[in-house]
Structure 1
Amino acid sequence: MADRNLTDDEATAKVARAATLFTPWALRAAVTLRIPDLIAEGVTDVGELARRAGAEPNALRRLIRYLVLLEVLRTPAADRVELGELGAVLRRGHAAGLASALDQAEPFARRGDEAISGLPEAVRTGKSVWAGFSGRPFWDDLAADPALDQSFAAAMAAHAAELGPVLATRHDWSSARRVVDVGGGTGHVLAAVLAAHRHLTGTLVDLPDTVSQAGPVLVAAGVADRVDVVGGSFFDPLPDGADVCVLANILHDWPDDDAVAILRRCASALTGTGRVVVVERVLDDVPVAPAEPGQFVASQRDLAMLLLLDAGERTAAEFRALGAAAGLKLTEIVPLVPGQGLFTVTFEVR
């Protein structure tokens, strides 16, 4: 049954609540001040919480009031506070990874939040706004700012560490022998796949400075003796003999021409029966509301790619077209992490 039509006042209240910037910044303030972590550690007195967080007590009480209304915190008594129903997901170390994405002490989180204010301009032009406020395009900015680059790399490594075990268990690796992780960072995804499937060997490919840091990850997973580490660009020829080329969260960073070029490099590296496994968010062809949580996340990331990189998330039809242009046939799209909108998109040589 369709929802009843909202009254004008109800619609105004709903839009106003969605539009306010106080909610996202209240959450960022809480994370940056470590409020959820301190409460979880047993700091429930507001005065002590202010001292430990380095906050002014009365100002903190005002923030706590708003966070209570958001169901992030609860106040069981005057000047007492505890985590609310939504508070635990803001703790550092939670699997959702929200804390690192919101923490304004992280250079990449802070810079990314600044970029969002450029969304009107990005929509007008269809172009990234990153260079407009940083003075350099995204990748050049990372290369020129070590703190920003380290923060970005840490965020990507944390995501890969969560993704790797899921990909290892939810994708069928039985027919593969050699896996090439293309743009695989410091090796978290490949390490998880090889640790779960002892018959596999692997090759990790990424820029030299990145893969030079992969050793501890591969050793900790017990797979270093089964991995070749290759420093290089995925726009250059890749090591051949792959049964599977993995592209995890790579193609959404690049416009179509570059994405096709990357897929062609993967196709050239495959054995005759090999496949390319792309891990990406897949947008619905036609958006509907209320949306599944994964589609909401995918749409947000799609806007982020516009702001940062002149790139974006794609629909199934768009992936199919990319594959065809690269000489590949899309054979299946399988949900991987539905709540995050992540799928495996599998291609085979045509």
Structure 2
Amino acid sequence: MDSAALDLLLAHLASLDVMQQTTAGYRTTEFGANLRADAGNGFTNMLLRLDSAAGRAELAFVELAHSITTGQAAYPRRYGKDFWADLAEQPRLRESFDQQMTLRFQHQVPRIVAAFDWSRFANIVDVSGGQGTLLAAILTAHPEMHGHLVDLAPTAADASRTFSAHGLDDRTDVTAGSFFDPLPAGADAYLLFDILHDWDDEHAHRILARCVAAAHPTGRILVVEAVGRQRSTSEMDLAMLVICGGRERELDEFRTLGLAHGLILDTVTTLTEERQLLEFRLEASGL
């Protein structure tokens, strides 16, 4: 490493209050400590490692003009394949993505569990539930509940380990699969946590159709998202477009999506500053 070049970088970081110059060299400031690998907040994975899923996705912003012109994701234009295909083909990217998805909302989990009456449901399917952090917390808080998590095989294996670590093996099932395939049938609730914003309307309809086909007649579809113009940010809106071709939908857009599948939006519950829970019921149930 070139010491003169490194000094230029450290001096610039000091001007941004990330580093502080001392008689012995440089050290991180209180603000800069958030970027340490041991900070436990995922910023290193997201901001400093350009070879991670998050870093690679950020680089797709160089093709922002393509997304603005066409309304389509920029990621395939830069890398020749869509974001999800890239994760599937490169295990290290998938691993960094799964880690980031867990880290980015872990501090919100207690509030998410406390802000909604999950105990209304005897069983719940967490659709594309990642490494199982949220479902494990819900089941731990409500010992009478049973949970079933669905995700792609490598991530599903991680979820199984999460449930075992929480002593939940007897109250959980894990299925390796996609939300574009048939889902476990007959559950009281199907949870889509930060899922629909990753997809355009065509794919969002396919996901909802699978949930409706699997749900018990009196079942509920629970959509947790940053609702557009209420909890979303313009930065995340652009990220969803550029990376995935999705977007942060507004409440009326969710209503319209649901109606196409006979779903009625019953209630909207604020979980945190960032996310709300939209509870849909099947119109045919009348309940």
Q: TM-score range with shorter-chain normalisation? A: 0.7 to 0.9
Q: Is the 8 A contact 2:41 2:104 kept in 1?
A: no
Whole-angstrom CA distance in 1 between matches of 2:192 and 2:218: 18
Whole-angstrom CA distance in 2 between matches of 1:109 and 1:203: 27
Q: Is the 8 A contact 1:143 1:149 kept in 2?
A: yes
Q: SS of the residue aligned with 2:119? A: coil
Whole-angstrom CA distance in 2 between matches of 1:336 and 1:95: 22
Whole-angstrom CA distance in 1 between matches of 2:184 and 2:105: 22
1:72 counterpart (18, 37, 58): 18
Matched, 1:348 2:272: no
Q: SS of the residue aligned with 2:143? A: coil
2:262 counterpart (312, 318, 327): 327
Counterpart residue number, 1:311: 246
Q: Is the 8 A contact 2:45 2:96 kept in 1?
A: no
The CA deviation at 1:334 is: 2.7
Whole-angstrom CA distance in 1 between matches of 2:77 and 2:50: 22
Taking structure 1 as the reference length, what is the TM-score of the superposition?
0.73
2:151 counterpart (203, 206, 229): 206
Q: C-alpha offsets along residues 278-302 of structure 1, whole Å, 9 cap, x if unaligned?
A: 12111217xxxxxxxx64xx32222
Q: Is the 8 A contact 2:189 2:220 kept in 1?
A: yes
Unaligned 5+ segments in structure 1 are 1-54, 286-293
RMSD: 2.3
From the CA coordinates, give the structure whose radius of gyration is larger. Answer: 1
Task: Give the % identical residues.
Answer: 39
Whole-angstrom CA distance in 2 between matches of 1:347 and 1:272: 12
Whole-angstrom CA distance in 1 between matches of 2:247 and 2:50: 27
Whole-angstrom CA distance in 1 between matches of 2:86 and 2:265: 34
Q: Is the 8 A contact 2:17 2:32 kept in 1?
A: yes
Matched, 1:167 2:167: no
Whole-angstrom CA distance in 1 between matches of 2:33 and 2:218: 46
Whole-angstrom CA distance in 2 between matches of 1:58 and 1:79: 16
Whole-angstrom CA distance in 1 between matches of 2:105 and 2:23: 42
1:183 counterpart (122, 125, 128): 128
Q: C-alpha offsets along residues 151-189 of structure 1, whole Å, 9 cap, x if unaligned?
A: 223222333644544322222113111011011123222
Partner amino acid, structure 2, of 1:299: S
Counterpart residue number, 1:110: 55
The CA deviation at 1:342 is: 2.0
Partner amino acid, structure 1, of 2:258: G
Matched, 1:283 2:228: yes
Counterpart residue number, 2:137: 192
Q: C-alpha offsets along residues 26-59 of structure 1, whole Å, 9 cap, x if unaligned?
A: xxxxxxxxxxxxxxxxxxxxxxxxxxxxx54443
Partner amino acid, structure 1, of 2:262: G
2:5 counterpart (49, 59, 62): 59
Q: Is the 8 A contact 1:261 1:326 kept in 2?
A: no
Whole-angstrom CA distance in 1 between matches of 2:142 and 2:37: 30
Taking structure 2 as the reference length, what is the TM-score of the superposition?
0.88
Whole-angstrom CA distance in 2 between matches of 1:163 and 1:268: 31
Whole-angstrom CA distance in 2 between matches of 1:148 and 1:95: 19
The CA deviation at 1:217 is: 0.7
Q: Is the 8 A contact 1:163 1:189 kept in 2?
A: no
Q: Is the 8 A contact 1:107 1:147 kept in 2?
A: yes
Q: Higher mean Cα deviation, 217-226 or 61-70? A: 61-70
Q: Higher mean Cα deviation, 98-107 or 300-309? A: 98-107
Whole-angstrom CA distance in 2 between matches of 1:214 and 1:162: 18
Counterpart residue number, 2:208: 263
Counterpart residue number, 2:184: 239
Q: Would you identify which runs of 4 or more consecutive aligned residues in structure 1 move more than 6 Å?
A: none
Distance 1:233 1:120, change over 3 A: same
Distance 1:237 1:347, change over 3 A: same
Matched, 1:142 2:77: no
Whole-angstrom CA distance in 1 between matches of 2:217 and 2:87: 37
Q: Is the 8 A contact 2:112 2:272 kept in 1?
A: no
Q: SS of the residue aligned with 2:120? A: coil
